Structure 1
Amino acid sequence: MTQPRIDPRTQRRSSAARRVRDLLRSAVVHEEFPAGALPGELELMLLFSASRQVIRDALTLLRDEGLVKRVQGTGTFSVASKVRHSFSHLHGPEPAREVVSHRVLSVSREVAAPRVAERLGIPAGSGCGVIEYLTVLGEEPYYVCTAYLPPQLLFVAERGTSVTEWYTIYESAGFELGVTDQAVEAIVADEQVAALLCVAPGSPLMLFERLVRDRTGRPLEYAFARVRGDRLALITQLRRPRPTGQEG
């Protein structure tokens, strides 16, 4: 299949706009603009040594992502700050300006599926607790979660509506949290999840699969949290291992 020929000038402009977009997105995510107001076009042109059209293209890309809005005669503003989720320790969302709350959607007792039983360390075919809840930032849905628990801990999870950070329900019940296994992957929203998160079906999400343990290694919770991709930025620091045989 022959690729359509793109004018070199158009390609250079498009590449420049994407680079500016990436740098502006990073600044928005890290809340570097006071009150969420981005600099004006002229200032951005000077900052990035770019043409007015490149700046406008970059702002259009950010607007299409839903990260900024342009107000005629006023300027460009970030619509919603992303939650910066650090992988240095176990924690819930820590937004700077919004209140975090949890809404329990359903609570039930079910026969544990084989993987659930294995993850929770309970006998195959035995019962487990299942709780589904929605985490909200301010008034905006952030993620929806399905959590499986040993049946005796279901009453603990039902306290989730009274805390701002989900994991504190276990600590308040006397459990000292230990190591949590967590896997993250990119997915899209199905119709039911999209309705709960107020996004369009097919919108990008991040799936967090986690196994929470106490200090003794006993499993407390096996869960799947579907997080809005437009509200999340994953932050971590990575160290490069020393080459094999190199002395410290």
Structure 2
Amino acid sequence: MDRTSPVPLYFQLARQLEGAVENGTLPPGTLLGNEIELATRLGLSRPTVRQAIQTLVDKGLLVRRRGVGTQVVHSRVRRPLELSSLYDDLEAAGRRPATRVLTNRLEPATAPVAAALGVPEGSDVHYLERLRTAYGEPMAYLRNHLPAGLIDPDTERLETTGLYRMLRSAALTLHSARQSIGARAATAEEAALLDEREGAPLLTMERTTYDDTGRAVEYGSHLYRAARYSFELQLMVRP
């Protein structure tokens, strides 16, 4: 800690702890002890430690457990803004992804879905609802529409692999996507699925994916827990 710095000590501590969580020095499940123990160990005041911990609790990186102390939950998933699947990103980060299929059916395409997929309104499309978890904790609520006849989205297979892997295994070459990212408050139903409180902030992502022939092969509308995600992009200065 730099006591001569204008940066508040609580913020310095929060930043150091966050870095340790992100790089795996403090893996999920690590107990930090209670505030008094931490303050004594670090040579800081209890209010300083309390404020630093609260900062990371608000970010979803730490949790306070009665009778146990402060515990690391999970680091935030940092997803690049590129054509990749959540399943692959979680697996690459060693997060042990799992999927629960909530809905898998054929249904008539609504006007927005038909427009996204380039199919006639009212024609059959596959509709999928899935809950993606990591270490058994809900991470994202995924809703996808696919043109009928493209693949057979078998429920058992969907629970053991990612949708993009299934598309690629059907000899489809995923080429590009149009994507928009936003945020909104969780409804009661969404909050229950994602283990959040009603009204909690959620990240939203809508994506239409195209193959190398320009055909739309998937339209997704996804919800992510804001405390568990960040999207990364690289910006270039236009010459």
Bigger drift between 88-97 and 117-126 goes to 88-97
- 1:192-247 CA-partner distances (Å, limit 9, x unpaired): 111111211111111111111111111111111111112112222222222xxxxx
1:12 corresponds in structure 2 to none
Corresponding residue of 2:90: 94
Residues 107-122 of structure 1 mapped to structure 2, 5 A cutoff: 107-122=104-119
TM-score under structure 2 length normalisation:
0.79
Q: What is the one-letter code of the residue matched to 1:180?
A: A
1:141-189 deviation digits (Å, cap 9, x = unpaired): 11111111111136236431231x3310101111111101121111121
Q: Distance in 2 between matches of 1:41 and 1:239?
A: 43
The equivalent position to 1:166 in structure 2, one of 159, 163, 167, is 163
Cα distance in 1 between the residues matched to 2:151 and 2:193:
23
Query: Which residue number in structure 1 is paired with residue 179 of structure 2?
Result: 182
Cα distance between partner residues in 1 of 2:160 and 2:60? 31
Provide the secondary structure at the position in 2 that maps to 1:23.
helix
Alignment of 1:213 onto 2:210: yes
Task: Find 2:54's aligned residue among 60, 76, 79.
Answer: 60
Superposition map of 1:230-241 within 5 A: 230-241=227-238
Return 5+ residue gaps in structure 1 as ranges: 1-14, 243-248
Aligned residues: 223
Q: SS of the counterpart of 2:8?
A: helix
- AA matched with 2:226: G
After TM superposition, the structure 1 stretch with the greater mean CA deviation from structure 2, 146-155 or 170-179, is: 146-155
Letter in 1 for 2:50: R
Deviates more, 1:91-100 or 1:103-112: 91-100
Q: Are residues 84 and 43 of structure 1, via their aligned partners in 2, closer, same or farther at CA, if it must alter by over 3 Å?
A: farther
Please give the alpha-carbon distance, in whole angstroms, between the structure 1 residues aligned to 2:186 and 2:20: 25
Q: What SS class does the counterpart of residue 78 from structure 2 fall into?
A: strand
The one-letter code matched in structure 1 to 2:200 is: S
Q: What is aligned with 1:81?
A: 75
RMSD value over aligned CA atoms?
3.0
CA deviation after TM superposition for structure 1 residue 19, in Å: 4.0
Partner secondary structure for residue 193 of structure 1: helix
Alignment match, 2:147: 150
TM-score norm. by structure 1 comes to 0.76
Residue 25 of structure 2 aligns with which residue?
A: 33
1:146 and 1:73 map into 2 onto residues whose CA distance is: 39
* Cα separation, partners in 2 of 1:134 and 1:69, compared to 1, 3 Å: closer
Shift of residue 72, structure 1, vs aligned partner: 9.2
Change (3 A) 1:170 1:237: same
- State the secondary structure of the residue aligned to 1:192: helix
Distance 2:227 2:84 in 1: 21
Matched-pair contact (CA < 8 Å) for 2:83–2:176: no
Q: Which residue of 2 aligns with 1:23?
A: 15
Is contact 2:60–2:228 with CA below 8 Å preserved after alignment?
A: no
Give the direction of change, closer, same or farther, for the CA distance of 1:98–1:239 in structure 2 (3 Å limit): same
- Cα distance between partner residues in 2 of 1:72 and 1:134: 29
Of the structure 1 ranges 83-92 and 16-25, higher mean CA displacement relative to structure 2 is found in: 16-25
Distance in 2 between residues matched to 1:66 and 1:134, nearest whole Å: 19
What percent identity do the matched residue pairs reach?
30
SS of the equivalent of 1:153 reads: coil
